[in-house]
Chains A and B, each alone.
Chain A
Amino acid sequence: MALLRRLAAALPLLASLALVGCASDDGTIQSQKLSAIKARGSLICGVDGKSPGFSFVGPDGSYSGLDVDVCKAVAAALFGDPTKVDFRDLNSSERFAALASGEVDLLSRNTTYTLSRDAAGGNGLSFAPTVFYDGQGVMVPNASGIKTLKDLAGKPICVETGTTTELNLADRMRELNTAYTPLKFQTGDQTYAAYLQGRCVAVTSDRSQLAAKRTSFPDPAAHTVLPDVLSKEPLSPATVNADPAWADAVRWTVYALMQAEEIGITQANVDAKVAEAKASTNLADLRRFLGVEGDFGQQLGLPANFVVQVVKAVGNYGEIFERNVGTGSPLKIERGLNRQWKQGGLIYSPPFR
Chain B
Amino acid sequence: MDSPLLRRLRRDLFATPLDGLISIVLVVALAASAAGLLHWALVQAQWAVIQANSTLFAVGRYPLDQQWRLWLLTILLAAATGLSWGLLRALPRPDRPARLWPFNDRLAAVLLAGLALGLPLLLRLGTAIQLRWWVITALLLLARWAAGRWGRRIPDPVRRWIPLIWPLLYLLGMVLISGGLGLVNVSPSEWGGLLLTLLEASFAILLCFPLGVLLALGRRSALPLLRWGAVLYIEFIRGAPLITLLFLGQNILGFLLPGGLAPERVWRAAWVLTFFAAAYVAEAVRSGLAAVPLGQLEAARSLGLAMPQALIHVVLPQALRVALPATVGQFITLLQDTTLLSLIGLLDLLGTARTVMANPAFLGKNAEVYLVLAVLFWGCCAALGLGSRALETRLNTHSTAKA
Task: Give residues in A with beta carbon < 8 Å to B.
Answer: 49-53, 55-62, 86-91, 93-94, 97-98, 100-103, 189, 212-213, 215-217, 329-331
Contacts and interface: CB of A to CB of B under 8 A. Distances in A.
Max chain B Cβ within 10 angstroms of own Cβ: one of A50, A91, A97, A100: A50
A61 B360 contact: no
Contacts of A60: 55, 64
B397 interface: no
Nearest to A90: B345
Nearest to A55: B358
- Shortest 8 CB-CB contacts between residues of A and residues of B: A216-B364, A101-B254, A89-B345, A61-B61, A330-B360, A56-B358, A216-B363, A97-B251
Contact of B359 (A58, A86, A94, A102): A58
A207 B101 CA distance: 56
A329 B351 contact: no
Max chain B Cβ within 10 angstroms of own Cβ: one of A59, A87, A216: A59
Q: What DSSP secondary structure best describes chain A's contact surface? A: loop
B75 to A, nearest CB: 22
Contacts of B363: 52, 212-213, 215-216, 330
Given A52-B358, A103-B254, A93 B52 contact: no
A88 B251 CA distance: 13
Contacts of A56: 355-356, 358-360
B201 interface: no
Contact of A89 (B190, B347, B361, B366): B347
Interface string B19-63: 000000000000000000000000000000000110110001111
Contacts of A94: 247, 250-251, 344-345
A137 B189 CA distance: 36
Contacts of A88: 189, 265, 345
B255 interface: yes
A50 B247 contact: no
Nearest to B361: A330
Given A61-B61, A94-B344, A215-B363, A101 B258 contact: yes
Interface residues of B, number: 40
B274 to A, nearest CB: 21
Q: What DSSP secondary structure best describes chain B's contact surface? A: helix
A86 B264 CA distance: 12
Contact of A329 (B62, B345, B357, B360): B360
A242 B138 CA distance: 60
Contacts of B60: 61
A93 B254 contact: no
Contacts of B247: 93-94
B259 interface: yes
A58 to B, nearest CB: 6
B17 to A, nearest CB: 40
Contact of B343 (A91, A212, A329, A330): A91
Contacts of A49: 345, 347, 351, 354-355, 358
Nearest to B357: A50
Contacts of B255: 97, 100-101
Interface string B74-110: 0000000000000000000000000000000000000
Contacts of B354: 49-50
Contacts of B190: 61
B148 to A, nearest CB: 40
Contacts of B64: 60-61
A98 B258 CA distance: 11
Given A57-B355, A97-B251, A215 B187 contact: no
Contacts of B251: 94, 97-98, 101
30 contacts: A49-B355, A50-B351, A50-B354, A50-B358, A51-B358, A52-B359, A52-B360, A56-B355, A56-B356, A56-B360, A57-B352, A59-B52, A59-B53, A61-B64, A61-B190, A87-B189, A88-B345, A89-B355, A90-B345, A91-B343, A98-B250, A101-B251, A101-B254, A103-B254, A103-B262, A215-B360, A216-B364, A329-B360, A330-B360, A330-B361
Contacts of A50: 351, 354-355, 357-358
Contact of A102 (B56, B259, B366): B259
Nearest to A95: B345
Interface in B130-181: none
Contact of A59 (B56, B259, B344, B346): B56
B66 to A, nearest CB: 11
Given A52-B363, A89-B347, 8 more contacts: A52-B359, A56-B356, A56-B358, A57-B359, A58-B359, A86-B189, A101-B258, A215-B364
Contacts of A213: 363
Given A49-B355, A331-B360, A57 B347 contact: yes
Interface in B272-330: none
Contacts of A216: 363-365
B147 to A, nearest CB: 37
Contacts of B358: 49-52, 55-56
B102 to A, nearest CB: 38
Max chain B Cβ within 10 angstroms of own Cβ: one of A57, A212, A329: A57
Nearest to B262: A103
